Amino acid sequence: MDDLEQPTYQHILVDITDRIAHVVMNIPSKRNALSISHMEELTRCFQSIGENKDIAVVILRGNGPSFCAGHDLQELAGKTTKFYSKVFDVCTKMMETIQNIPQPVIAQVQGTATAAGCQLVASCDLAVADENAKFATPGVSIGLFCSTPMVAVSRNMHRKKMMEMLLTGDPISAEEAQLCGLVNRVVSSEEIETETRSLAIRICNHSVFTIGIGKKAFYQQLDMAQEQAYVYAGEVMVTNAIHFDAQEGICAFLEKRKPEWQN
């Protein structure tokens, strides 16, 4: 049994089946709010997954009525500058870890995803939402603008809609989130688990090495000027092309057979 399957976490559940890691935020009484200890566990979990070559893809979801309610406000009340710096540093490390591991991470969103919870959805590589899901960056309503959630969410969504969410605190529907680019698809609550798993299985069919090198390259080139991005992407393709899995994939296509990935 993999180490990740052991009951070593207080706030999350982890199961690995058929090369898919299921990570479940398990604090339904607090709508899976992100305390420091919760975020540190998620970071540690994703780091372990990133080092496990037997895992091809990750599904992240929350137990209970919400995906994630954002930061734990009880933990934020009346603290020092040093404490707040730690909270947001820990949060940033968690979000960046999700994007830095080679495996794609799919958010399975049921219920609400607010503030840092919405940031968490945006930080995942893909997202499948329940048709009744809601997304919001409502910090302005409590006098704490959603500045760090804004970083991830604004890199997924249309600018004007993002500003409306930030300035009003009003939630948007799953359908609006899909139209604005925050989620990939919207399905019924009865279908969401099956649809998310189906997406994960399709990713599992491909080379883990190829997926990992492609995911890293995607995020690296986003903020580059086009000329620089082409130079970088060309170098990545050369590295990819000489790898066994690329040569196996090309030969399998030409020979009309299924490739046998070495990963």
Share of the chain above pLDDT 70, in %: 97
pLDDT-based confidence at residue 5 (cuts at 50, 70, 90)? very low
Q: Quick one: DSSP state of residue 142?
A: G
Q: What is the pLDDT of residue 8?
A: 82
User: Which residue, 51, 43, 45, 38, is CA-closest to 14?
Assistant: 45
Write down the CATH number for the domain with range 208-254: 1.10.12
CB atoms within 10 A of CB 18: 10
pLDDT tens per residue, range 19-61: 999 999 999 999 999 999 999 999 999 999 999 999 999 999 9
Q: Which residue has the tokens 């399957």?
A: 5
pLDDT tens per residue, range 156-167: 999 999 999 999
pLDDT tens per residue, range 91-119: 999 999 999 999 999 999 999 999 999 99
Share of the chain above pLDDT 90, in %: 94
Portions of the chain given CATH number 3.90.226.10: 3-204
Mean pLDDT of the chain: 94
Residue 205 burial (C-beta neighbours within 10 Å; 0-12, 13-18, 19+): exposed
Q: What is the pLDDT of residue 249?
A: 92
User: Which residue, 127, 139, 133, 131, is CA-closest to 170?
Assistant: 139
Q: Kindly tell me if the per-residue pLDDT of 225 is higher than 70.
A: yes
Q: What is the pLDDT of residue 130?
A: 97
Q: What is the pLDDT of residue 4?
A: 44
pTM over 0.85: yes
Q: Kindly tell me if the per-residue pLDDT of 215 is higher than 60.
A: yes
Portions of the chain given CATH number 1.10.12: 208-254
Q: Which residues contact 100 (CB under 8 A, 6 or more apart)?
A: 50, 216
Q: Kindly tell me if the per-residue pLDDT of 235 is higher than 60.
A: yes
Q: Kindly tell me if the per-residue pLDDT of 3 is higher than 70.
A: no
What are the structure tokens assigned to 9, written together?
Answer: 């976490």
Adjacency order of strands within the sheet including 134-136: 112-114, 134-136, 172-173
Q: Which is it for the CA torsion 76, 82, 85, 89, positive or negative?
A: negative
Q: What is the pLDDT of residue 263?
A: 78
Write down the CATH number for the domain with range 3-204: 3.90.226.10
